[in-house]
Structure 1
Amino acid sequence: MSEPIPVFDGHNDILGHLATSDVADPVQAFLTGSFPSHIDLIKAKTGGFAGGIFAVFCPSPKKPDGALPPGMAFDMAPLPLDLVPAQAMAIQQVSLLYRLEAAGALAVCRNTTEIKAAMARGKIAAVLHIEGVEAIDADLQFLDVLYAAGLRSLGPVWSRDNIFGHGVPFNFPGSPDTGPGLTEAGKRLVAACNRLGVLIDLSHITEKGFWDVAELSSAPLVATHSNVHAICANPRNLTADQLKAIRDSNGMVGLNFATGFLRPDGAWRPDTGLDVMLRHLDAMIEAVGETRVGLGSDFDGAMLPAAIGSSAGLPVLIEALQQHGYNDALVQRLAHGNWLDLLARVIDR
């Protein structure tokens, strides 16, 4: 049996999933696959999950944060999160990432040379990301701390407002044009990310915030785990104008596997077929080009099509790409090549 095509994925939430669980030893759970998750060491090796952007995510103080309601239409307003508890949760998850590295499960990577080296020796290549930067203070001192710890990617907002900007709500159907964009602190954050070489992820930000970043940033525009709004009218997805801006900046968009961001009816259903994933990929490629599209699974952060199920099921998607008519070069680009090229444009120093 041939080895699976290696996948470098644009977004996963395994750190938060493990850190907020009641598992006694999250490192051993990851190593042995003894905890229900989309990613563990066994599933990763089975499916060819060779690396990705690993998110630190700090949940709101109480529900409805994580429980996506069933059905076709919903509207959630997660509560805001204060600095001190956010920093405590961020430290816990960054520590977990480094304990996973110490146990031999993965390698924390700060540039593409390190990513390629880790993949070559069979280690999961992990790029540290923070999704919603409530843990960062207005003076950006904690940004310096996180950068020293390996942070190379951040999303200024999750789907809630903070001192840096405004996030889109979880509603369907809806427009991403839901409110204000960056604050003055958010504008300073963009400048600092450009200076340091930190990727700015636009997947959860309002449309106004997207255009604020587009105006201010000298870096490529990136949405690590978003889909096409014309196919699924969720505000988390990208309009035609946003996709054009990503193309024009030589940026990147990663296909989100979450069923509610894929389906035209917005439903959270595991029986979602892979055909709708291919429809989004076709539209993305047409809008931004073959060199600017990849995968942004949202593993351990969302409901996936049952045909994929977890990172072990990535070969099912790869086979679907091949049967859809994508040639070998394009499949390789979608699986990992485009992400490595994008990261070289942003984080390499």
Structure 2
Amino acid sequence: MVAAPVPVFDGHNDTLLKLELGAGTPRERSFLERAPRDHIDLPRARAGGFAGGLFAMYVPSRLGEDMNLRYDPQDPANFAEVQQPAALAFTLRMAARAFRLEREAAGDVSICRDVQAIRTAMDAGSLAMVLHVEGAEAIDPDFVALEVLHAAGLRSLGPVWSRSNIFGHGAPMTCPASPDSGPGLTDTGRELVRACNRLKIMIDLSHLTEKGFWDVASLSDRPLVASHSNAHAVCPSARNLTDRQLDAIAESGGLAGLNFHVAFLRPDGGHRSDTALDVMVRHMDHMIARLGEDGVALGSDFDGCLVPRAITDVAGLPVLLQAFRDAGYGEELIEKIAWKNWLSVLERTWA
């Protein structure tokens, strides 16, 4: 039997992108109504105990096409660089969609800019949405767009996705492979880290090469956070974190969020929805061993990945938490994984 839903604050989803790409097409859907596809809408969120999370604004290389194309590591067109004016325009469309959604939801969705707002939303049963940029192509080298987006509500940023930009280089989605797969931050990328620290924007290490990870670690005065990355020791994908990286996150008082994408979970890197939940428990066990119970969380990548069939969508979150219970995790640890650790690291990052 699956227990009643525990509130979940999740570190990463691509729902705003899915909604924007679907607008005006046969795949258009309302976030406020239950849909038969994709991963997150408000009714399914409530069914699964999904209380909120970081909502990514990601600009695909192939705008106007199915975003899942981006996961094909054999097609370089899915990883082509994106120019800043086009990236900013599309990012603003996703931000505007979030603001319109907040208005239309009439209190059922809240865009949150600090942890107290997240707590207030969760207490009121309003979905807490934090705006995040995944891949900083929208940001100009003078950081004008960064200032404006921050004023609008941006509170988290990943310098790169799995491609290069003016700030650095992303790790490829290959397995088996080392995350030490290319150069790190550029000089402009180092300035971006400093600018984010000044503005108290969380820097997300997911997608960075290992050299980029260490560049951020040497520059940032905030906890190190990888919002949706797994253990390289369990699944040797270039997108996952080595034990040395996990140890550095722990030393900084940071956090890593478990990614639900099957190719970042399975030891063979396979794209198979019949992936068993015990491999997710294996990742979490390993991450707890390196990060401690206060350094682990969830970073589902909902609406941007292939999740295990046993979970299916956001309504299936209680199934994963039950798998943790079945593995011997106590309720205090489950609450830390589900939401408490995210709120703690955000509070310390934004203070």
| Matched residue SS, 1:31 | coil
User: CA offset at residue 26 of structure 1?
Assistant: 9.1
Report the counterpart of residue 179 of structure 1 in structure 2: 182
TM-score for both structures, normalised by structure 1: 0.95
Deviation at 1:99, TM superposition (A): 0.9
Matches within 5 A, 1:43-82: 43-61=44-62, 66-67=68-69, 74-77=73-76, 78-82=79-83
Offset, 1:64: 9.4
* 1:67, distance to aligned residue in structure 2 (A): 2.1
Deviation of the 1:22 alpha carbon: 4.2
Q: Find the counterpart in structure 1 of residue 96 from structure 2.
A: 95
Matched residue SS, 1:189: helix
SS in 2 for 1:220: coil
How far has the Cα of 1:34 moved from its partner?
A: 3.3
Code of the residue aligned with 1:166 in structure 2: it is: H
Instruction: With the length of structure 2 as denominator, give the TM-score of the two structures.
Output: 0.94
Residue 18, structure 1, aligned to residue 56, structure 2: no
Q: Output the CA distance in 1 between the equivalents of 2:232 and 2:95.
A: 33
- How far apart in 2 are the matches of 1:173 and 1:28? 37
Q: What do the CA deviations read for 1:44-92 (whole angstroms, capped 9, x no partner)?
A: 000000010000010003679632678xxx5454111001110111010
How far apart in 2 are the matches of 1:68 and 1:80?
Answer: 12
Q: Judge conservation of contact 1:76–1:170 (CA < 8 Å) in 2.
A: no
Structure 1 residues not aligned, in runs of 5+: none
Give the structure 1 partner of residue 124 of structure 2: 121
**Distance verdict in 2 for CA 1:76–1:207, change over 3 Å:** farther
Q: 1:246 to 1:48 in 2, by over 3 A?
A: same
Letter paired with 1:45? R
For structure 2, list consecutive stretches of 5 or more residues without a partner in the other structure: none
2:338 to 311, 318, 335: 335
1:246-285 paired onto structure 2 within 5 Å:
246-285=249-288
Paired with 1:317 and 1:159, the residues of 2 have a C-alpha distance of: 27
Q: After the TM superposition, which residues 155-166 of structure 1 pair with which residues of structure 2 at under 5 Å, given as runs?
A: 155-166=158-169
RMSD: 1.9
1:118-170 Cα shifts (integer Å, max 9, x gaps): 00000110110000010000000000010011000000000000000000112
Aligned length: 345
Aligned CA distance change for structure 1 residues 98 and 148 (closer, same or farther; 3 Å): same
Q: Does 1:223 align with 2:226?
A: yes
SS in structure 2 at match of 1:30: coil
1:169-208 alignment to 2 at 5 Å? Answer: 169-208=172-211
Amino acid at match of 2:169: H
8 Å CA contact 2:19–2:29 kept in 1: the answer is no
